[in-house]
Amino acid sequence: MTTPLVIPARLLPADGRFGSGPSKIRRAQIDALVEAGTTVMGTSHRQAPVKSLVRRVREGLAELFSLPDGYEVVLGNGGSTAFWDVATLCLVREKAQHAVFGEFGGKFAAATSNAPFLADSQIISATPGTIALPQPADDVDVYAWPQNETSTGAMAPVRRVPGDGALTVIDATSGAGGLPVDVSETDAYYFAPQKSFASDGGLWLSVLSPAAIERAAQIESSGRWIPEFLSLTTAVTNSRADQTINTPAVATLIMLADQVEWMLAQGGLGWTMARSAESSSHLYAWAESRDWATPFVETPEERSAVVGTIDLDAAIDATEVVRVLRENGIVDVFPYRKLGRNQLRIAMFPAIDPDDVRALTDCIDYVVDALA
Ligand SMILES: *Cc1c(COP(=O)(O)O)cnc(C)c1O
């Protein structure tokens, strides 16, 4: 392999970022960052300019998700991974049930299972490429599952399990903003800014129900030791004042606020969902029409509209395809590392133009043909 394989310029997407997180950030968000450069960047997060940024994020998300009465948008530092610890400490009273069908769902299940103050978690698992659903159980007080399993490209419905008293805690890190949701079916719908919200990482955001806020208050007053950084009630108090407990990444907030307002200006969640659905219907139809490509998720309704996984025939080395695409400016379409499949994984978050997804599949056709 000495002569580099050059994809003709006419086939290339306008933007070559298809990574599943960090993901494509729109040019206008970078412009917003530059504009806020000297007025907001490098200024105190306890003063009006940064606090109004946090308020824009909270109010924008409240509108985007049509928040039911009493629900609140809460945020803190540390990304979704930190929220797993927050939820383990502040939302699970005695026992959690997890539906696990990939790496991310598995990590939260491990967090609650390893907590010495909780009973062993109940884990309902399914093989990667399929989904597991929660099942009614009398002894669990939290049901948890990912809306979109970013490691496999499978998505699951977000619907409460019948019964009283248990909280529904949904990992929407990659699903929020691009997949449909009725947040009244959840008590904590949490995510981070570096997926559909096209910003940088480092924050967690969670739409909380009154029951979740109440549960956190009860647990924290019960005497359980909770590090302040991971306290949900502390996060709620700070969020209500448009702050975080410690210094946030201001650039992340600027790009996040811009993305949320862009989504609203385009038509809100209905528009973003339709845009991701347009990209993903194209991707899956394309894969089905090639005899060397197959959608990894077999059941069509479980195929994610925001993260598509496409298996390639064993005769085609996906690593090689990924490498050639990268040399041509199309980046991050490798599969989730631990899945270990001969696969391409393609993000189709709302920031990604469906025309670019169409261009990408043309480029893949070109590369596969050239490598043959
Ligand atoms: C990316 C991702 C996470 C981890 O998010 P961080 O902000 O990096 O902690 C968790 N869950 C899902 C479903 C993800 O896609």
Q: What CATH number does residue 305 fall under?
A: 3.90.1150.10
Quote the pLDDT of residue 87: 99
Q: Is residue 1 part of a domain?
A: no
Assess whether pLDDT exceeds 60 at residue 231. yes
> Do residues 145 and 276 share a domain?
no
> Do residues 167 and 231 share a domain?
yes
Q: Is residue 305 part of a domain?
A: yes
> Do residues 130 and 249 share a domain?
yes
Banded pLDDT at 38 (limits 50, 70, 90): confident
User: Does residue 102 have its Cβ closer than 6 Å to ligand 1?
Assistant: no
User: Does residue 146 have its Cβ closer than 6 Å to ligand 1?
Assistant: yes
> Do residues 194 and 338 share a domain?
no
List C-alpha distances in Å: 310 to 220, 279, 295: 45, 14, 5
Mutate to test the pocket of ligand 1, among 173, 194, 332, 337 (most ligand atoms within 8 A of CB): 173
Cα 344 to Cα 283: distance, rounded to the nearest angstrom: 11
Q: Whose CA is nearest to atom 8 of ligand 1?
A: 79
> Do residues 171 and 294 share a domain?
no
Q: Where a domain ends, among 213, 238, 265?
A: 265
The pLDDT tens digits for 275-284 are: 999 999 999 9
Q: Where a domain ends, among 265, 292, 324?
A: 265
Under DSSP, the state recorded for 369 is: H
Quote the pLDDT of residue 343: 98
User: Does residue 83 have its Cβ closer than 6 Å to ligand 1?
Assistant: no
**Structural domains of the chain, count:** 2
Give the CATH number, domain containing residue 121: 3.40.640.10
Mean pLDDT of 98-113: 98
Where does 173-249 have alpha helices with state H?
210-221, 232-240
> Do residues 88 and 233 share a domain?
yes
User: Does residue 308 have its Cβ closer than 6 Å to ligand 1?
Assistant: no
Banded pLDDT at 159 (limits 50, 70, 90): very high
Place of tokens 């967690």: 204
> Do residues 257 and 276 share a domain?
no
Cα 212 to Cα 206: distance, rounded to the nearest angstrom: 11
Cα 143 to Cα 132: distance, rounded to the nearest angstrom: 12
Q: Is residue 2 part of a domain?
A: no
Assess whether pLDDT exceeds 80 at residue 1. no
Mean pLDDT of 74-97: 98
> Do residues 244 and 260 share a domain?
yes
Q: Is residue 314 part of a domain?
A: yes
User: Does residue 171 have its Cβ closer than 6 Å to ligand 1?
Assistant: yes
**Burial code of 22-31, b = ≥16 C-beta within 10 A, e = fewer?**
bbbbbeebee
The helix (run of H) or strand (run of E) holding residue 83 is: helix 79-90
Mean pLDDT of 239-257: 97
Assess whether pLDDT exceeds 90 at residue 2. no
Cα 30 to Cα 20: distance, rounded to the nearest angstrom: 19
Quote the pLDDT of residue 105: 98
What is the value of pTM for the model shown? 0.98
Assess whether pLDDT exceeds 90 at residue 218. yes
Share of the chain above pLDDT 70, in %: 99
Q: Is residue 100 part of a domain?
A: yes
> Do residues 94 and 234 share a domain?
yes
Q: Is residue 9 part of a domain?
A: no
Q: Is residue 128 part of a domain?
A: yes
> Do residues 76 and 133 share a domain?
yes
Residue 217, Cα to own-chain centre: how many angstroms? 27
Tokens standing for 67? 């928040």
Distance from residue 57's CA to the centre of ligand 1 (Å): 19
> Do residues 233 and 340 share a domain?
no
Quote the pLDDT of residue 37: 81
Q: Where a domain ends, among 240, 265, 290?
A: 265
Cα 76 to Cα 244: distance, rounded to the nearest angstrom: 6
The residue segments making up the domain with residue 273 are: 14-25+269-371
Quote the pLDDT of residue 3: 78
Cα 311 to Cα 347: distance, rounded to the nearest angstrom: 15
Distance from residue 87's CA to the centre of ligand 1 (Å): 14
> Do residues 283 and 228 share a domain?
no
Q: Is residue 218 part of a domain?
A: yes
User: Does residue 150 have its Cβ closer than 6 Å to ligand 1?
Assistant: yes
Quote the pLDDT of residue 178: 98
